[in-house]
């Protein structure tokens, strides 16, 4: 039945459907059952359908449509092409899992608040769909701002806490700086013709200077939303503040709309990608990757840590995009498309595993009432199912085969290994160094998630008498059914994306082809579904399914052989105490201790304040505070400067109506003089 | 295409590696004993140790999770897979395209993550300490390892180990500056990744210095045996990767079954040399303080980068 609906109509219907669910959630606001068991699951079904339409759109020609809405002479234009289809698939499939989870997660909310969350949540989803569907700058900006505002309200759900209000303010501020840059970018691209539809922007011929200006505005404007350094400061504040499903939506999907915007504007609307742009993107991407993971290693608040990992993963996506732009700029289109595929694949992967990890963090918060890693421990015993799903997410984000994170990093490495075809010697030698940076970040991520998993789920509980009980009073039960379904959905996504990469490669190849008119070499496309071949079979191949099967088979075989030839006898005893019987759970490694070697090696990167107790202190306490250097180097000076300027401008404000009338009068005179 | 002989050989090779790995361990220990003027243990001692461990009853801490009991099997499985990918005797390995050098590094990383997680499972301070240090060494060694492998990949234009080996084996007998740099870097990474001196000491039980041993303190009996065996396979795999990259001559190429005896003899010879060299290195070096490990491994990384740049400069 659904096959006969065109993807554009279908996606539009889903967007409107989400808006309708938002309105529905508000009506019976006294009824929490409705919101939990009807509104959120309906939203999830809509997401599933949207994913289907998105996949369909990748394989058919682009479709356009004009809506009789908007302002006079400025109707809304919609368009769906393979790029939009891919991102709609991402949005729909990830939102499916998160929505089901949200239905379970908000089980303890008061009905009134739940109705508001339901409204904002579905408006947020719909606005993201319209960002992707928009085909003119006007609708794009309207949807973009709706997205920023609805997510702002979701972040400040617990607005009675001052810390959450200030986190929300920071988010709104940076979101608007970014939006301003995007608006200016559209202005530069359109060059005074008065037509803001994307078709017109695409057709406009820009002088190289103006194209670069437009690129810079788009890069930094969308980068602010994506969380690239140095505009990342809102992420580690806003994500911990928001309820967990909202963090998952923001980190998993909303950051990706920024990547969508970047690709749309740079590859499609500006066109004519230059390699110098690629170098800038690569440099920023490398910095973002390293800073993100190094700061993540220092965190002990689980959600802050995940937020810094989002920064890191955006960096990895930017590395792929940068390489792609570099190769396309030099005219090597096949390698350029490979880089684009790697970046977009990582975009999808990150949405899936980061969504999963945020949901897992939410379940811990919900069941054990804990967010600080230093108080956790041994959760695998009380929440074994959550522990299992979280392990999959942790392995996936650590880029370990055979899960999905590895596939996209592998593709990025393969792109970097195309370096010898470049003519420019310096760039050719630099490219593998960026790959090394990626390898370093991958290994550091693995370390960070060993820390997270080892401290939160393994070991013994550190919380004796210190944990704040969950709102419902108990600590120590597994996540509920709906929460578990949400996590299982995304965990399955990690496996599907990790084990069957070829079908996604073909899909992304079509996206790249529709944007640039070039694709991967035929040799790469002729391989069957089992083998992932980015260039040619003799150059590189990877078969995650065989990989997985061999590991599983060999592990089972070993188990069977050991059992067959020896025995399965086990005795249980206390852990070895090294002859010191008074060991307590507090003697285990903490999150801060785990990061200590990193602090030692990368010391200059952090701004640290250590408090060392004196040797004769009877009650010694050691404390260390680690701050993001960007605050003192960038944000606080800018804040001080703008404070200073505002106080100067504030002098104009006298609070008396006659003075304001005088200002209006003077302005009118000045305008008359200058403009006539 | 007829895959049957290839697959048969594939299985044969991986079984051979798994069975022969403890022998290499025994040989290294024997050489080390000789160099230190001790009377050497038997070459077969690692096998006896494994057999003894398999017969014992496993003692497990009360609150161990399933992850703890599963990890030895996963480690062993990962190493077995690695042993199947590396061309040891011949380059005709039908499974090898399933995982290239990047995936190979991924397998080692997977094993490392699982062993670090298992170390943290019981909740003793030693386990956490060992896991933390192991991951520290890991993140320093992995980029250096990848850079070394990338140098070889750039020379042969492929990330398939079998293709790399075939390309390199066909080059004339000469010293390539890029490969020389890469080889030194590779040896340094090998020492670090296999918990050898100067980074770690495989025969220590001193709390302050141990890394790998601290992680496996809670293991006993069959679980310990599997881990020890996996460690031996890892050393074997690393050595054969080194041999394949830097001295590939003598390996039997695709379809050339007659060359197998020669390949076998040359492999035995090369491994004997490599094992003796490892023992020599270990006897000559002192263990580094933990925080000198970053310097050691960043030196390895820089050497690997130099090797790669040399390749771009002189195409050699």
Q: What is the pairing mode between strands A63-71 and A74-80?
A: antiparallel
Range with lowest mean pLDDT among A30-44, A80-94, A287-301: A30-44
In the three-class reduction of DSSP (H, G, I as helix; E, B as strand; rest coil), residue B287 is classed as: coil
pLDDT of B2 reads 56
| Closest residue by Cα to residue B95 from A550, A322, A520, A415 | A550
Determine whether the interchain pair A395/B113 forms a contact, defined as Cβ–Cβ distance below 8 Å: yes
User: Nearest Cβ partner of A541 from B121, B143, B160?
Assistant: B160
Helix (H) or strand (E) holding A71: strand A63-71
pLDDT at A71 over 80: no
pLDDT of A465 reads 46
pLDDT at A147 over 90: yes
User: CA nearest A430 in B: which residue?
Assistant: B309
pLDDT at B234 over 90: yes
Å from B37 to nearest chain A CA? 32
In the three-class reduction of DSSP (H, G, I as helix; E, B as strand; rest coil), residue A571 is classed as: strand
pLDDT (tens digit, 9 = 90+) per residue, A397-455?
A: 999 988 999 999 999 999 998 888 888 778 888 888 898 889 999 999 999 999 999 98
Name the pLDDT band for A2 (thresholds 50, 70, 90). low
C-alpha distances in Å from residue B212, one per residue of A19, A586, B131, B134, B220? 56, 23, 8, 7, 15
Determine whether the interchain pair A558/B77 forms a contact, defined as Cβ–Cβ distance below 8 Å: yes
**Are the CB atoms for A545 and B164 separated by under 8 Å?**
no
User: Nearest Cβ partner of B120 from A417, A459, A540?
Assistant: A459
**Within the 510-539 window of chain A, which residues sit less than 8 Å (CB to CB) from chain B?**
531, 537-539
Share of chain A above pLDDT 70, in %: 96
Name the pLDDT band for A3 (thresholds 50, 70, 90). low
Determine whether the interchain pair B113/A570 forms a contact, defined as Cβ–Cβ distance below 8 Å: no
* CA pair distance A266, A286, nearest whole angstrom: 19
Name the pLDDT band for A482 (thresholds 50, 70, 90). confident
**Is residue A578 within 8 angstroms of chain B, CB to CB?**
yes
Mean pLDDT of A50-76: 85
Indicate the Cα dihedral angle A136, A139, A142, A146, nearest 10°.
Answer: -120
Residues of B in contact with A558 (CB under 8 A): 73, 76-77, 80, 226
Residues of A in contact with B167 (CB under 8 A): none
pLDDT of A473 reads 45
The helix/strand count (H/E) of chain B reads as: 11, 1
Determine whether the interchain pair B138/A600 forms a contact, defined as Cβ–Cβ distance below 8 Å: no
Determine whether the interchain pair B80/A554 forms a contact, defined as Cβ–Cβ distance below 8 Å: yes
Å from B126 to nearest chain A CA? 8
Residue A660 makes CB contacts below 8 A (sequence gap 6+) with: A654
Per 3-state DSSP, what percentage of chain B is helix, strand, and coil (rounded to 5)?
70, 0, 25
pLDDT at A469 over 50: no
Mean pLDDT of B145-173: 83
- Domain residue ranges of chain A, discontinuous segments joined by +: 629-675
Q: Which residue has the higher pLDDT, A158 or A94?
A: A94
Q: Which residues pair with A611 in a beta bridge?
A: A623
Determine whether the interchain pair A555/B153 forms a contact, defined as Cβ–Cβ distance below 8 Å: no
Name the pLDDT band for A51 (thresholds 50, 70, 90). very high
Residue B231 makes CB contacts below 8 A (sequence gap 6+) with: B25, B194, B195, B212
* CA pair distance A664, B11, nearest whole angstrom: 88
pLDDT at B47 over 90: yes
Helix (H) or strand (E) holding A70: strand A63-71
Range with lowest mean pLDDT among A443-452, A541-550, B181-190, B223-232: A541-550
Residue A602 makes CB contacts below 8 A (sequence gap 6+) with: A294
Å from A167 to nearest chain B CA? 32
Residue B53 makes CB contacts below 8 A (sequence gap 6+) with: B220, B221, B222, B224, B225, B228
Dump strand ranges (E) for chain B.
58-61
Residues of B in contact with A596 (CB under 8 A): 132
First to last CA, chain A: 63
Determine whether the interchain pair B301/A432 forms a contact, defined as Cβ–Cβ distance below 8 Å: no
Name the pLDDT band for A199 (thresholds 50, 70, 90). confident
Which letter does DSSP use for residue A29 in this model? T
Mean pLDDT of A532-551: 83
* CA pair distance A97, A492, nearest whole angstrom: 10
As given in the structure block, the two tokens for residue A482 are: 């709906």
Residues of A in contact with B217 (CB under 8 A): 576
pLDDT of A122 reads 92
**Is residue A546 within 8 angstroms of chain B, CB to CB?**
yes
pLDDT (tens digit, 9 = 90+) per residue, A293-344?
A: 999 998 888 999 999 999 999 999 999 999 999 999 998 888 899 999 999 9
* CA pair distance A463, A377, nearest whole angstrom: 8
Helix (H) or strand (E) holding A222: helix A208-226
pLDDT (tens digit, 9 = 90+) per residue, B49-93?
A: 999 988 888 888 888 888 998 999 999 999 988 888 888 887 777
Å from A408 to nearest chain B CA? 12
Q: At B63, give phi and psi (nearest 5°).
A: -100, 30
- Residue identified by tokens 């605050």 is A631
**Are the CB atoms for A50 and A133 separated by under 8 Å?**
no
**Is residue A558 within 8 angstroms of chain B, CB to CB?**
yes
* CA pair distance B130, A148, nearest whole angstrom: 45
Residue B272 makes CB contacts below 8 A (sequence gap 6+) with: B27
- The dihedral through the CA atoms of A206, A211, A214, A219 has a sign that is positive
Determine whether the interchain pair B61/A399 forms a contact, defined as Cβ–Cβ distance below 8 Å: no
Per 3-state DSSP, what percentage of chain A is helix, strand, and coil (rounded to 5)?
70, 5, 25
User: Nearest Cβ partner of B309 from A417, A429, A546?
Assistant: A429
Q: Which residue has the higher pLDDT, A666 or A535?
A: A666
C-alpha distances in Å from residue A378, one per residue of A411, A457, A471? 36, 5, 21
| Closest residue by Cα to residue B274 from B204, B183, B201, B203 | B183
Residues of B in contact with A436 (CB under 8 A): 143, 146-147, 301, 305
User: Nearest Cβ partner of A432 from B95, B160, B308?
Assistant: B308
pLDDT (tens digit, 9 = 90+) per residue, A607-657?
A: 888 888 888 888 888 888 888 888 888 888 999 999 999 999 888 887 888
Helix (H) or strand (E) holding A77: strand A74-80
- Burial label for A311, CB within 10 Å (0-12, 13-18, 19+), is buried
pLDDT of A472 reads 46
DSSP A122-152: HHHHHHHHHHHHB-BHHHHHHHHHHHHHHHH
Name the pLDDT band for A175 (thresholds 50, 70, 90). very high
User: Nearest Cβ partner of B77 from A391, A410, A551?
Assistant: A551
pLDDT of A570 reads 85
Q: Where are the alpha helices (DSSP H) in B36-100?
A: 45-55, 66-85
pLDDT at A464 over 70: no
């Amino acid at each position: 039945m659904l096959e006969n609906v065109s993807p554009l109509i279908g996606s539009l219907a889903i967007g409107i459907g989400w808006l309708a669910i938002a309105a529905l959630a508000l009506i019976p606001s006294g009824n929490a059952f409705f919101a939990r068991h009807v509104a959120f699951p309906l939203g999830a079904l809509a997401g599933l359908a949207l994913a289907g339409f998105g996949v369909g759109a990748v394989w058919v020609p682009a479709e356009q449509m004009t809506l009789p809405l908007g302002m006079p002479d400025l109707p809304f234009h919609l368009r769906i092409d393979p790029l939009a289809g891919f991102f709609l698939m991402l949005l729909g499939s990830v939102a499916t899992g998160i929505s089901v989870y949200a239905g379970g997660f908000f089980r303890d909310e008061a009905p009134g608040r739940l109705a508001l969350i339901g409204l904002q949540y579905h408006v947020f989803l719909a606005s993201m769909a319209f960002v992707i569907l928009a085909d003119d700058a006007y609708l794009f900006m309207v949807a973009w701002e709706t997205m920023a505002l609805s997510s702002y309200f979701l972040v400040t759900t617990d607005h009675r806490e001052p810390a959450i209000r200030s986190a929300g303010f920071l988010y709104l501020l940076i979101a608007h700086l970014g939006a301003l840059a995007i608006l200016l970018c559209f202005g530069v691209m359109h060059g005074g013709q008065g037509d803001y539809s994307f078709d017109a922007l695409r057709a406009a011929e820009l002088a190289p200077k103006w194209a670069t200006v437009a690129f810079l505005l788009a890069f930094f404007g969308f980068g602010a939303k994506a969380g690239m350094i140095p505009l990342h400061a809102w992420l580690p504040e806003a994500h911990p503040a928001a309820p967990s499903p909202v963090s998952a939506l923001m980190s998993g999907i909303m950051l990706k709309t920024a990547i969508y915007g970047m690709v749309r504007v740079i590859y499609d609307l500006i066109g004519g990608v230059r390699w110098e742009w690629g170098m800038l993107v690569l440099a920023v991407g490398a910095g973002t990757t390293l800073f993100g993971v190094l700061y993540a290693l220092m965190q002990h608040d689980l959600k802050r840590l995940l937020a810094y990992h989002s920064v890191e993963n955006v960096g990895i996506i930017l590395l792929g995009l940068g390489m792609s732009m570099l190769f396309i700029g030099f005219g090597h289109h096949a390698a350029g498309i490979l880089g684009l595929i790697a970046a977009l694949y990582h975009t999808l992967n990150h949405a899936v595993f980061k969504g999963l990890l945020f949901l897992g963090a939410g379940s811990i918060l919900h069941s054990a009432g804990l967010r600080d890693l230093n108080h956790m421990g041994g959760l695998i015993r009380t929440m074994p199912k959550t522990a299992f799903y979280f392990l999959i997410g942790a392995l996936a984000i650590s880029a370990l085969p055979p899960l999905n994170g590895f596939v996209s990093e592998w593709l990025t490495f393969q792109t970097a290994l195309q370096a010898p075809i470049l003519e420019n010697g310096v760039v050719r030698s630099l490219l593998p160094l960026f790959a090394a940076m990626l390898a370093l970040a991958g290994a550091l991520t693995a370390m960070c998630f060993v820390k997270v998993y080892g401290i939160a789920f393994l070991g013994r509980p550190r919380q004796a008498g210190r944990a704040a009980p969950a709102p419902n009073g108990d600590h120590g039960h597994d996540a509920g059914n709906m929460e578990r379904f949400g996590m299982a959905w995304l965990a399955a996504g990690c496996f599907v994306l990790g084990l069957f990469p070829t079908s996604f490669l073909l899909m992304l190849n079509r996206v790249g082809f529709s944007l640039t008119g070039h694709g991967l070499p035929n040799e790469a496309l002729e391989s069957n579904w089992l083998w992932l071949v980015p260039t040619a079979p003799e150059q590189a191949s990877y078969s995650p399914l065989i990989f997985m099967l061999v590991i599983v088979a060999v592990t089972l075989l070993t188990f069977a052989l050991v059992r067959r030839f020896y025995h399965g006898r086990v005795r249980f005893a206390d852990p070895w105490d090294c002859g010191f019987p008074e060991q307590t759970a507090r003697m285990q490694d903490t999150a801060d201790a785990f990061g200590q070697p990193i602090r030692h090696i990368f010391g200059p990167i952090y701004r640290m304040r250590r408090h060392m107790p004196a040797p004769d202190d009877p009650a010694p306490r050691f404390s260390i505070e680690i701050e993001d250097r960007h605050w003192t180097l960038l944000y606080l000076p800018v804040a001080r400067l703008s404070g200073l300027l505002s106080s100067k401008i504030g002098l104009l404000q006298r609070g008396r109506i006659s003075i304001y009338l005088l200002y209006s009068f003077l302005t009118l005179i000045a305008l008359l003089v200058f403009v006539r | 295409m007829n895959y049957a002989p290839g697959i048969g050989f594939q299985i044969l090779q991986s079984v051979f590696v798994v069975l022969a790995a403890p022998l290499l361990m025994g040989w290294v220990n024997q050489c080390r004993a000789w160099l230190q003027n001790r009377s050497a243990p038997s070459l077969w001692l690692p096998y006896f140790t494994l057999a003894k461990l398999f017969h014992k009853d496993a003692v497990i801490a009360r609150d161990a999770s399933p992850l703890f009991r599963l990890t030895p099997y996963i480690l062993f499985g990962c190493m077995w897979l690695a042993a199947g990918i590396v061309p040891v005797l011949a380059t005709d390995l039908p499974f090898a395209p399933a995982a290239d050098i990047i995936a190979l590094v991924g397998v080692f990383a997977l094993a490392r993550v699982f062993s670090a997680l298992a170390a943290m499972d019981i909740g003793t301070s030693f386990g956490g300490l060992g896991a933390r240090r192991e991951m520290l060494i890991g993140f320093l060694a992995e980029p250096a390892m990848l850079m070394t492998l990338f140098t070889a990949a750039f020379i042969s234009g492929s990330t398939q180990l079998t293709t790399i080996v075939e390309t390199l084996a066909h080059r004339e007998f000469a010293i390539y500056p890029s490969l020389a740099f890469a080889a030194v870097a590779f040896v340094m990474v090998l020492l670090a990744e296999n918990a050898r001196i100067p980074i770690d000491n495989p025969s220590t039980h001193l709390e302050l210095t141990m890394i790998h041993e601290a992680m496996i303190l809670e293991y006993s009996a069959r679980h310990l045996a599997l881990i020890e065996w996996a460690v031996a396979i890892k050393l074997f795999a690393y050595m054969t990767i080194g041999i394949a990259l830097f001295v590939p001559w003598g390996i039997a190429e695709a379809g050339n079954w007659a060359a197998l005896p020669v390949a076998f003899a040359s492999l035995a010879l090369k491994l004997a040399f490599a094992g003796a060299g490892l023992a020599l290195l270990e006897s000559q070096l002192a263990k580094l303080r933990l925080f000198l490990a970053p310097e050691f491994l960043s030196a390895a990384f820089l050497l690997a980068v130099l090797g790669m740049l040399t390749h771009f400069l002189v195409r050699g």
